[in-house]
Amino acid sequence: MKLTYFGHSAFQIITKDNTSILIDPFLDGNPHCNIKSENVFADYIIVTHGHGDHLGDTFKIASKSNSLVIATNELANYCANKGCKVHNMHIGGAHNFDFGKVKFTLALHGSETPDGQNLGLASGIILTIDGKTIYHTGDTGLFGDMKLIGELNKIDYLLLPIGDNFTMGIDDALIAVDFIKPKVVIPMHYNTFPVINSDPKVFAEKVKQKGYECKIIPFNETIEI
């Protein structure tokens, strides 16, 4: 399985059977992303919340690729009204798709769309694919139930924001790592805008001091997981 990081919170997963899954596909307006939405294909798009830097290019990609958009109920309905094929879910719920299982979790954040519609709760995502469990926390502050999430799930890869201001910063992210106890931590949501500048190398070193593995994925690069 391949994991590509486009910067900010945008990732692509390519499964062993070549299914393409995009998470929070903020590409065209992303200063770190070197590929345009018109050149990306997705069988599935999973969106954590309605902010423009996460909903991103969902509509363009879904229209071109006939993607299935997976999101919490209010956001899924919004995407359906924009012409997308959707699968509605909500926090605490899980569903088995052809590629694997998706479960939505709590995230402490908002979910207002670029046109000013408030769409309920933001979310995180736990994906179980090809025998691996990936937790994309979405935009979130630190919350105590991350400890419960770690107790209930053996997280292989934790995708965690470190940029501060809108989400947790490095200090709170380190506490989240202790709560969740993943095999590998991957920092995200940093250096897209000046207000969320953060040094992933500093974070990685502090994670390693705690005894966990941290892997910084350079923007636009792909790793095998």
- For 140-153, write each residue's pLDDT tens digit: 999 999 999 999 99
The whole-number pLDDT of residue 90 equals 98
Q: For 72-79, what is the mean pLDDT?
A: 98
Domain count, the chain: 1
Looking at residue 132, its pLDDT comes to: 98
Tokens at residue 175, please?
A: 């506490």
CATH number for the domain harbouring residue 185: 3.60.15.10
Q: Residue 225's pLDDT is what?
A: 96
CA distances from 134 to 44, 104, 117, 149, 182 (A): 16, 12, 29, 12, 9
Q: What is the pLDDT of residues 88-101, one digit of tens each?
A: 999 999 999 999 99
Q: What is the mean pLDDT of residues 106-119?
A: 96
Terminal-to-terminal C-alpha distance of the chain:
6
Q: Give the pLDDT of residue 5.
A: 98
Percent of the chain with pLDDT over 70: 100
Q: Which two three-digit tokens encode residue 140?
A: 């979130």
Domain that holds residue 45: 2-224
What confidence score (pLDDT) does residue 144 get?
Answer: 97
Tokens of 124: 């995180």
* Per-residue model confidence as pLDDT tens digits over 129-176: 999 999 999 999 999 999 999 999 999 999 999 999 999 999 999 999
Mean pLDDT over 49-78 rounds to: 98
Q: Tens of pLDDT along 206-219? A: 999 999 999 999 99
Average pLDDT on 196-200 reads 98
Q: Does the predicted model carry a pTM greater than 0.75?
A: yes
Environment class of 17 (CB within 10 Å of its CB; exposed 0-12, middle 13-18, buried 19+): exposed
